[in-house]
Amino acid sequence: MIQEFGAEYAYDNHFEPCEPGEKDYVLHFRDRGCLTRVTHVGGSDADAGDSGEVIDLPRLADYPRRPSRVTYLFSLGEERLFLALDDSLPVPAGFSYESVNWLRHAEPQHLLFAAATASQLDRWYRENRFCGRCGHPTELAPSSREIVCPECARIVYPKICPGVIVAVVSLADDPADDRIVLTRYAGRTTALWALVAGFTEIGEPLEGTVRREVMEEVGLSVKGLRFYKSQPWSFTDTLMAGFWCEVDGADALRVDHSELKEARWFRRDEIPLERTSDRASLTGEMIERFRLYGRGAWGD
């Protein structure tokens, strides 16, 4: 998944008030694009979910002019990463602003993770330039990752939205006939098969989100919830929790077409192969585990 890469790039998000050196990464975003240098190594026949591009991110020394507003982000192993909050900057030679969503298919994995995570923090900083309580301009806290209002003392912390990814399965007498529900979202030009998913509502436990989202999207009752693993998904400011569960009772799908283009039951040998090279998402990992291991996917 997007947060899984070599131990040499161990993620440390402890905030340190410091200034970047010439060799430190300094990221900049504009119009949901990340300043990136791209080397095209893939072709039109690249596997689905794998664009075949290698990226690099700018270091301070790459900029023609030093950014005026910079804050520390995190470190990946020995590499330190910072964020430039200037509205605009001269673009370093060889770099351009690339869609953060597109970058989820690029390599190396640790720089993909860095760009996605930095984009989440960039949105948070830019969307909180003014206090939501009194309207006064805000400031960055000097020694911690907070936004503070000097007028009314309001403190704002980074935005994280909890949500769930749900693999709904139907277990048969013959394991070869076990099935899983796959869905495709409505209104998307490239809609890969996915799992039921949704955000947690106010006052709702994650298990409640699972049951509600499955009922709303595909009209099924479920039982036997099993937590699988979690994943930060910075593209939507989300922390995703993955669950396996079994259909409880009737298995006829009632699809919410306001959210989904379609939903279907698939046996393991029917699952499309479009997710086999999806290295980034929890959705892709869970679908592929069921395709390969069936009911063994959740470790029972």
The per-residue pLDDT for 9 is: 95
Distance CA 300, CA 295 (A): 8
In a domain, 166, yes or no: yes
Low-confidence ranges of the chain (pLDDT < 50): 43-50
Asked if 119 and 188 sit in the same domain, the reply is no
Query: Residue 243 contacts by C-beta under 8 Å, 6 or more apart in sequence?
Result: 164, 165, 166, 167, 206, 207, 210, 225, 226, 227, 228
Domain end position, chosen among 101, 127, 153: 127
Asked if 173 and 113 sit in the same domain, the reply is no
The answer to whether 263 touches 218, Cβ cutoff 8 Å, is yes
Asked if 106 and 182 sit in the same domain, the reply is no
The per-residue pLDDT for 89 is: 96
Distance CA 11, CA 112 (A): 13
In a domain, 32, yes or no: yes
Closest Cα to residue 79, out of 108, 42, 38, 46?
A: 108
Instruction: Return the bridge partners of 70, or none.
Output: 84
Asked if 167 and 70 sit in the same domain, the reply is no
In a domain, 132, yes or no: no
Asked if 123 and 167 sit in the same domain, the reply is no
In a domain, 146, yes or no: no
The answer to whether 73 touches 121, Cβ cutoff 8 Å, is yes
The per-residue pLDDT for 210 is: 98
Amino acid at 140: L
CATH number of the structural domain spanning residue 241: 3.90.79.10
Distance CA 202, CA 160 (A): 13
> What is the number of domains present in the chain?
2
Domain end position, chosen among 127, 153, 183: 127
Residue showing tokens 């760009």: 115
The per-residue pLDDT for 276 is: 84
In a domain, 190, yes or no: yes
Asked if 282 and 167 sit in the same domain, the reply is yes
Cβ burial 250-264 (10 Å sphere, 16+ → b, else e): eeebebeeebbeebe
Q: Which range of residues forms the domain containing residue 110? A: 7-127
In a domain, 142, yes or no: no
Asked if 111 and 220 sit in the same domain, the reply is no
Residue showing tokens 């590499």: 79
In a domain, 29, yes or no: yes
Asked if 92 and 198 sit in the same domain, the reply is no
In a domain, 171, yes or no: yes
Domain end position, chosen among 127, 150, 173: 127
